[in-house]
Amino acid sequence: MKGEGRKDRIPAGKRKLRFGRSLMSRYMLLILAAVLFVPVVLPLTSIIYVVVVNNTNIENTAPYGDSTKISNLWSRESKELHGATPEEIHKRLEQLHGKYPKSSMYYVNKKGETAYILGGEDVNVTESTQAGITVTTLKWARNDKNAAVTRIPDLWDANSALEFMKEASYRDPLTVVSFVGGDNEDKGQGFMVIEVPRYLLEKSQNNWPMELLYLGVLMMIILLLFIVMSILFFARIRKRLIRLQTAMMTPGKEGIPLPVDILRSDEIGQLEESFNAMVYQLTDSRHREREEEQLRKRLVAGLSHDLRTPLTVIRGHMHSLHKEPLSATADNSLRRMEAKMDDLSGLIDNMLSYNLLASGKYTLKLEQKDILRIVREAAAAWYPVWEKEQYEIDIDLPEEPLIWQVDEQGMRRVLDNLFQNVIRHAACGKYIGISTSVVQGRVALVIQDRGPGLQEDSDTKGTGLGLSIVDLLIREMGLRKRLDSSPEGVRIYIYF
Closest CA to 81 of 154, 185, 190: 190
Give the CB-side neighbour count of residue 420, counting CA atoms within 13 A: 20
Per the confidence metrics, is the pTM higher than 0.85?
A: no
Instruction: Please indicate, yes or no, whether residues 75 and 191 belong to a single structural domain of this protein.
Output: yes
Instruction: Please indicate, yes or no, whether residues 328 and 410 belong to a single structural domain of this protein.
Output: no
Q: Domain boundary at 329, 356, 383, which?
A: 356
Instruction: Please indicate, yes or no, whether residues 400 and 303 belong to a single structural domain of this protein.
Output: no
Q: Considering the domain boundaries, does residue 377 fall inside one? A: yes
How far apart CA 386 and CA 391 sit, in angstroms, is 5
The pLDDT assigned to 370 comes to: 93
Quote the number of domains for the chain: 3
The pLDDT assigned to 202 comes to: 67
The pLDDT assigned to 436 comes to: 92
Instruction: Please indicate, yes or no, whether residues 177 and 144 belong to a single structural domain of this protein.
Output: yes
Taking residue 266's Cβ as centre, other Cβ atoms within 10 Å add up to: 20
314 contacts 326 by C-beta, under 8 angstroms: no
The pLDDT assigned to 7 comes to: 40
Instruction: Please indicate, yes or no, whether residues 307 and 402 belong to a single structural domain of this protein.
Output: no
Q: Considering the domain boundaries, does residue 176 fall inside one? A: yes
425 contacts 415 by C-beta, under 8 angstroms: no
Helix (H, G, I), strand (E, B) or coil at 176: strand
Helix (H, G, I), strand (E, B) or coil at 380: helix
Instruction: Please indicate, yes or no, whether residues 180 and 300 belong to a single structural domain of this protein.
Output: no
Q: Considering the domain boundaries, does residue 264 fall inside one? A: no
Instruction: Please indicate, yes or no, whether residues 187 and 151 belong to a single structural domain of this protein.
Output: yes
Closest CA to 30 of 225, 229, 220: 229
Block mean pLDDT (10 aa), the chain, length 496: 42 54 74 72 69 54 79 89 88 90 89 87 82 76 64 84 78 86 70 87 60 72 81 85 86 83 82 89 87 76 71 77 82 80 72 68 82 91 88 92 89 87 86 91 92 63 69 87 89 91
DSSP assignment of 242-296: HHHHHHHHSB-TTSSBPP-----SSHHHHHHHHHHHHHHHHHHHHHHHHHHHHHH
Instruction: Please indicate, yes or no, whether residues 323 and 371 belong to a single structural domain of this protein.
Output: no
Q: Domain boundary at 356, 380, 401, which?
A: 356
Instruction: Please indicate, yes or no, whether residues 175 and 293 belong to a single structural domain of this protein.
Output: no
Q: Which domain holds residue 420?
A: 364-495
Instruction: Please indicate, yes or no, whether residues 87 and 165 belong to a single structural domain of this protein.
Output: yes
Instruction: Please indicate, yes or no, whether residues 195 and 99 belong to a single structural domain of this protein.
Output: yes
The pLDDT assigned to 216 comes to: 74
Q: Considering the domain boundaries, does residue 263 fall inside one? A: no
Q: Which long-range contacts (CB under 8 A, 24 or more apart) does 360-367 make?
A: 362/476, 364/407, 364/410, 364/473, 364/476, 364/477, 365/407, 365/408, 365/409, 366/405, 366/406, 366/407, 366/477, 366/478, 367/405, 367/406, 367/407, 367/408
Peptide bond into 173 cis (omega under 30): yes
Q: Considering the domain boundaries, does residue 11 fall inside one? A: no
Q: Domain boundary at 327, 356, 385, which?
A: 356
Q: Considering the domain boundaries, does residue 335 fall inside one? A: yes
Q: Considering the domain boundaries, does residue 159 fall inside one? A: yes
The pLDDT assigned to 445 comes to: 93
Give the CB-side neighbour count of residue 383, counting CA atoms within 13 A: 9
192 contacts 214 by C-beta, under 8 angstroms: no
- Tell me, what CATH number does 458's domain have? 3.30.565.10
